[in-house]
Amino acid sequence: MLLESRPKGLHYVFTAAAGHSFAFYVLVNHLILWLLSEGVPRENASKTFGYYIAAAYVCAVLGGGLASFLGAHSVILLGVALYLCGLFALVLNAGHGVLVLGILALGSGLIKPNIVTLVSRMFPAKSPLVDGALARFYSAINVGAIAAAGLGGYISTRYSFRAAFITALIGELIVLLSLFLGRKAFSVTASESSLAPLIAPIKSGTLPPDQPSVNWRSLGSLLLFLVFASLAFWPAYHQNNAGLNVWAEQFTNRVVFGFNIPPTWFAMINSLICIFCAVPVITWFAIGARRKWSSIAGYALMSLSFVLLCAVSYSGASAAEAKYSALWLVLSITFSSFSEVMISTIGLARVSEQAPRKWDSLFMSIWYCTVALGGWIAGQIGSSFSLIEGFWVFASLCCIAGAGQWVELRCAGRAPTAATAWLRTEEIA
């Protein structure tokens, strides 16, 4: 092969992604539970969670923009420095002020889009190998998320939330170490040329920038996909760290053989499914028109995951009194996790494929903006409705989005715009 499917240095990117994911999800998994333990009303805690998620992903726009001038590697280092400062402030003050959470959000926003950029820039533009690399990248993120839910959940239950936040520092130190060890391999990512990975070693700027043409029809389809993701998928997805954690703590019988399972441990199910099922699911849906059907199936599963819990809540005692079997929560998270694989991972690949190489960090930051809007919507719904009412709202939004994607697919089917044709038009001549 002209280019290896696993370029030298790619494992350093995956390690860095896992490290930051660990640090990020230690905070996100415990944010609402921590605020509730501090006496913050559930409505305000939900709003704070939504604002933090929105800020973290909106700041990705700044991270993508800065990378166009400073380079992705440098912006990641700046983000790590800010995130470490925010974690130290959080641990020392144990406060939940706007400034501390703002610093953490800014640091995360500088890191997220540029780590993805390091992955895609190790391949020629529109390379068919990018999808597989991004699937493994997604698995690396979920390895960090598993560690965050498992280790962070155990420490917060056994000791304190502050002790759990201390462990998040380990994740950012792993990012720093990975960037240092992989600094030579990352030189290929400094070039704006889409063919840079084919010629190594290179010096930044030695190759002329060569950009593929833009397929405006596919961009229109992508825009519609992003709109539905913003309004339906991401608000529902964020319940893994919000509403479902509350359900696990307050409404789930978590005692198994005398051991009280920490609420955040249920989030490990999501990560395990993403790790072991992402590649086979993506491979299957990458064939022909299945790619677009994946989002429809994903919305159906996400809606079903919430309908299941809503139905259980009406099965007997009121939700205020009941402690339901943990199996219902496990099944709900399983459905939503497969939904994430079908929508988020394939969506990440679509954005990567259509972004001009020079502005790929900026385009990736737009993808993160949809995550931000979804986080804000999740916070507003969580503060405006009861837990069960909110679940019904999320289920309804996903049904509407799935129907909209089906209509878009049917309309696209009347013209030569099937997924295979879309991929061919995006290749470099």
Say what the pLDDT of residue 182 is: 74
Say what the pLDDT of residue 281 is: 74
> pLDDT digit string (tens) for 253-270?
888 887 888 888 888 888
Q: Please report, for residues 17, 24, 287, 377, the alpha-carbon distance to residue 144 in angstroms, rounded to integers and kept in the order given.
A: 8, 9, 29, 25
Segment 130-154 shows an average pLDDT of: 83
The pair phi, psi for residue 287, each rounded to 5°, is: -90, 120
At 145, the amino acid letter reads A
Q: Is the pTM of this model over 0.85?
A: no
**What's the CA gap between 206 and 209, in Å, rounded?**
9
Segment 38-64 shows an average pLDDT of: 86
Say what the pLDDT of residue 350 is: 67
- Least confident window among 95-104, 145-154, 306-315, 383-392: 95-104
**What's the CA gap between 43 and 50, in Å, rounded?**
11
Confidence of residue 330 (pLDDT cuts 50, 70, 90): very high
Minimal CA–CA distance to 38: which of 121, 118, 96?
A: 96
> Prior bond to 201 cis, omega within 30?
yes
Number of residues written out for the chain: 429
